């Protein structure tokens, strides 16, 4: 059995069975997880081979057979779908002579869920590099270059802020906030963060100070996980932060770690952002002199949306399949490796450094706007601004009729004078969550869009519980029946019944929120469904 030297080195480096990074490394280097490599890891980490197979088969980026040399992942999630990813898909098929799901010895061609480039859609990843604003001509050129071994210029997202005003989120704190924090006790920092009103930006909006207090009160050494999984379709703000203000994010992580008495923090980064790992690692290295021995380790995901959930993320870091855990115990009581753990979003953590600066307030949010717009992007705005104001900045292509708040936040009708206020959006039956806005104009069919989103949830359901696993699948079947002209109004009632059932009986928030888009669409745009029914 011949194992490559760097795999041997890598396995020896990890003392806590950090399986996902090891497997990611092998997958990226050798293109698949061979039996000999799995056998080697199993021996070295004293872990049954079956356990490694069980874990690896959970993640869509891992493969047990050697496929093409180059992996193409074309996104077909909402914003790309609205911006003609179907045409791009056909152009790829024609250029490489493969259908999605097929491979030859040059290419492996897969359809991907949102890759976090929604404002520059349609987009694809080839060998981990993002290519955006694709046209048929661009795709043909890129793939022909790869085929003939020519170096292709990557079209990586630049994350340029919309230039009109300096964004607060881009302010560099130059480790002055950490210095101020270190002059205080952890308990006083927590008081300050509580008083500031900072709430989580990952979607649930929980008080950050209170979360830290739960960990601190255990009296034990805490653990911090920075959640950079960002898998929600339509969301790309955390990438924007990592591209444009990495140093201040690292400072925020250091402040949180100090408050939590944490000596080893983790950044869980989605595998789709592999091209940002180098930048992130370099900034961690160059910040070391300011970190007083704090270890910050990057763990890379492998294509599973559920791993953004706060309990799944812990299983993933522990080298397991990313199934959610039962609560209680809550992460603050017993989290990663049974330690009291705080999980915080990237935008939350950068704000823990920014809130030490003059004039900071908790009203600013990063809105991600994409879909049927000419100039989508990340917009820093105060909550409460009108639909017209925000959507106008992104330049809609046509008359806007609806807004989808990511895949899981729901669907509401567009009303120029309504505003992006958490309570007001809730009154409409949706959730503003992490401020993800997918703009839908009069030319996009609501039913097809709901079908696209349901297919996303079918793909991303972890399979642990029946309502989410089977229910979403049945809804997809019904939506296919309707879009093929075979559906009836009775089917709409059945969909509604299934939605209620899935919402109330699913084990975790993924299933519980998977039908929000359909419930809203059926409430506000029922006629579009009925028009397709027999």
Ligand X SMILES: Cc1cc2nc3c(=O)[nH]c(=O)nc-3n(C[C@H](O)[C@H](O)[C@H](O)COP(=O)(O)O)c2cc1C
Chain residues binding ligand FES by CB under 6 A are 75, 77-80, 114-118, 121, 123, 233
Residue 202 interaction partner, one of ligand FES, ligand SF4, ligand X, none, beta carbon < 5-8 Å per kind: ligand X
Residue 345 interaction partner, one of ligand FES, ligand X, ligand SF4, none, beta carbon < 5-8 Å per kind: ligand X
- Looking at the Cβ atoms of 114 and 249, the one nearer to ligand FES is 114
> Rounded to the nearest whole angstrom, what is the least distance from the CB of residue 433 to ligand X in the complex?
9
Contact call for residue 300 and ligand X (CB under 6 A)? no
- Binding ligand X by CB under 6 A: which of 108, 119, 213, 229? 229
> Rounded to the nearest whole angstrom, what is the least distance from the CB of residue 77 to ligand FES in the complex?
4
Is residue 198 within 8 A of residue 348, CB to CB? The reply is yes
How far is Cα 512 from Cα 352, in angstroms, rounded to an integer?
A: 30
> Rounded to the nearest whole angstrom, what is the least distance from the CB of residue 154 to ligand FES in the complex?
16
How would you list the strands of the sheet with 341-345, edge to edge?
A: 295-300, 264-269, 223-228, 341-345
Residue 77 interaction partner, one of ligand FES, ligand X, ligand SF4, none, beta carbon < 5-8 Å per kind: ligand FES
How far is Cα 265 from Cα 134, in angstroms, rounded to an integer?
A: 37
> Rounded to the nearest whole angstrom, what is the least distance from the CB of residue 471 to ligand SF4 in the complex?
9
Half-sphere exposure of 454 (CA within 13 A, CB side): 25
3-state DSSP call for residue 390? helix
Contact call for residue 463 and ligand X (CB under 6 A)? no
At how many degrees (to 10) do helices 186-196 and 208-216 cross? 160
> Rounded to the nearest whole angstrom, what is the least distance from the CB of residue 342 to ligand X in the complex?
8
- Looking at the Cβ atoms of 324 and 376, the one nearer to ligand SF4 is 324
Which residue intervals of 199-345 are DSSP H helices?
A: 208-216, 237-244, 246-260, 277-287, 312-317
How far is Cα 84 from Cα 121, in angstroms, rounded to an integer?
A: 9
3-state DSSP call for residue 527? helix
- Binding ligand X by CB under 6 A: which of 201, 239, 320, 323? 201
Q: Which of residues 335-354 bind ligand X (CB under 6 A)?
A: 343-345, 348
For residue 172, which of 344, 347, 296, 354 has the smallest C-alpha distance? 354
Here the tokens at position 442 are 């009069």
Residue 462 interaction partner, one of ligand X, ligand FES, ligand SF4, none, beta carbon < 5-8 Å per kind: ligand SF4
How far is Cα 224 from Cα 341, in angstroms, rounded to an integer?
A: 6
Select from 122-130, 152-160, 433-441, 501-509 the region that touches ligand SF4 (CB under 6 A). Answer: 501-509
**Secondary-structure percent of the chain, ordered helix, strand, coil, rounded to 5:** 45, 15, 40
How far is Cα 450 from Cα 438, in angstroms, rounded to an integer?
A: 12
Residue 80 interaction partner, one of ligand SF4, ligand X, ligand FES, none, beta carbon < 5-8 Å per kind: ligand FES
Select from 130-138, 252-260, 438-446, 462-470 the region that touches ligand SF4 (CB under 6 A). Answer: 462-470
Is residue 21 within 8 A of residue 41, CB to CB? The reply is no
Is residue 271 within 8 A of residue 288, CB to CB? The reply is no
Contact call for residue 469 and ligand SF4 (CB under 6 A)? yes
Contact call for residue 323 and ligand X (CB under 6 A)? no
- Binding ligand X by CB under 6 A: which of 76, 177, 227, 352? 227
Is residue 463 within 8 A of residue 469, CB to CB? The reply is yes
**Cβ partners under 8 Å of residue 359, min gap 6:** none
Contact call for residue 461 and ligand SF4 (CB under 6 A)? yes
Do the strands 436-441 and 364-371 form a parallel or antiparallel pair, or are they unpaired? Answer: parallel
Residue 274 interaction partner, one of ligand SF4, ligand X, ligand FES, none, beta carbon < 5-8 Å per kind: none
- Looking at the Cβ atoms of 230 and 251, the one nearer to ligand FES is 230
- Looking at the Cβ atoms of 263 and 464, the one nearer to ligand SF4 is 464
The pair phi, psi for residue 53, each rounded to 5°, is -60, -40
- Binding ligand X by CB under 6 A: which of 230, 272, 372, 491? 230
> Rounded to the nearest whole angstrom, what is the least distance from the CB of residue 336 to ligand X in the complex?
13
> Rounded to the nearest whole angstrom, what is the least distance from the CB of residue 270 to ligand X in the complex?
7
Residue 229 interaction partner, one of ligand SF4, ligand FES, ligand X, none, beta carbon < 5-8 Å per kind: ligand X
3-state DSSP call for residue 157? coil
> Rounded to the nearest whole angstrom, what is the least distance from the CB of residue 400 to ligand X in the complex?
26
Is residue 293 within 8 A of residue 389, CB to CB? The reply is no
Contact call for residue 462 and ligand SF4 (CB under 6 A)? yes
Answer whether the bond into residue 329 is a cis peptide, omega within 30°: yes
> Rounded to the nearest whole angstrom, what is the least distance from the CB of residue 238 to ligand X in the complex?
7
Here the tokens at position 494 are 């059945």
Residues that bind ligand X (CB under 6 A): 200-204, 206, 227, 229-232, 305-306, 308-310, 343-345, 348, 508-510
Residues that bind ligand SF4 (CB under 6 A): 306, 324, 461-465, 468-469, 506-508, 510-511
């Amino acid at each position: 059995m011949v194992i490559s030297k760097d795999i041997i080195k890598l396995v020896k480096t990890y003392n806590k069975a950090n399986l996902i990074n090891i497997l990611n490394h092998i997958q990226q280097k050798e293109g698949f997880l061979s039996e000999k490599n799995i056998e080697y890891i199993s021996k070295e980490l004293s872990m049954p081979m079956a356990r490694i197979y069980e874990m690896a088969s959970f993640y869509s980026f891992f493969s047990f057979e050697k496929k093409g040399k180059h992996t193409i992942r074309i996104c077909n999630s909402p914003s790309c779908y609205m911006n003609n990813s179907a045409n791009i898909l056909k152009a790829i098929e024609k250029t490489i002579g493969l259908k999605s799901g097929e491979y030859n010895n040059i290419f492996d061609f897969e359809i991907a869920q949102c890759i976090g480039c929604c404002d520059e859609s349609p987009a694809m990843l080839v060998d981990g590099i993002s290519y955006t604003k694709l046209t048929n001509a661009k795709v043909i050129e890129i793939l022909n270059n790869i085929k003939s071994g020519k170096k292709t210029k990557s079209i990586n997202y630049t994350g340029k802020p919309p230039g009109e005003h300096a964004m607060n989120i881009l302010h560099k704190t130059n480790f002055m906030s950490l210095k101020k924090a270190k002059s205080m006790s952890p308990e006083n920092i927590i008081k300050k963060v509580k008083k500031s009103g900072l709430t989580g930006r990952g979607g649930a909006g929980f008080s950050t100070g209170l979360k830290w207090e739960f960990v601190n009160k255990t009296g034990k050494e805490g653990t911090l996980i920075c959640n950079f999984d960002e898998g929600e379709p339509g969301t790309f703000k955390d990438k924007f932060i990592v591209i444009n203000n990495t140093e201040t994010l690292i400072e925020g992580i250091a402040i949180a770690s100090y408050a939590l008495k944490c000596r080893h923090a983790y950044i869980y980064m989605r595998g789709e952002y592999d091209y940002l790992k180098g930048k992130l690692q370099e900034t961690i290295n160059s910040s070391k002199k300011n970190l007083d021995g704090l270890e910050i380790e990057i763990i890379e995901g492998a294509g599973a949306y559920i791993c953004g959930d706060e309990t799944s993320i812990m299983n993933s870091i522990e080298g397991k399949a990313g199934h959610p855990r039962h609560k209680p115990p809550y992460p603050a009581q017993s989290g990663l490796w049974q330690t009291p753990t705080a999980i915080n979003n990237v935008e939350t953590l950068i704000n823990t450094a920014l809130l030490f600066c003059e004039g900071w307030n908790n009203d600013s949010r990063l809105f991600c706007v994409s879909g049927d717009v000419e100039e989508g992007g990340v917009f820093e705005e105060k909550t409460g601004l009108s639909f017209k104001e925000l959507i106008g900045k992104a330049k809609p292509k046509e008359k806007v009729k609806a807004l989808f708040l990511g895949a899981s936040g729901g669907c509401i009708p567009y009303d120029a004078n309504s505003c992006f206020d958490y309570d007001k959006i809730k009154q409409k039956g949706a959730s503003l969550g992490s401020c993800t806005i997918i703009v839908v104009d009069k030319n996009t069919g609501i039913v097809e869009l709901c079908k696209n989103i349901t297919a996303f949830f079918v793909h991303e359901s972890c399979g642990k519980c029946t309502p989410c696993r089977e229910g979403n699948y049945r809804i997809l079947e019904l939506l296919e029946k309707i879009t093929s002209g075979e559906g009836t109004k009775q089917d709409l009632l059945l969909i509604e019944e299934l939605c209620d059932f899935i919402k109330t009986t699913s084990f975790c928030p993924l299933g519980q929120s998977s039908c929000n888009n359909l419930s809203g669409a059926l409430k506000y745009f029922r006629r579009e469904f009925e028009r397709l029914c027999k």
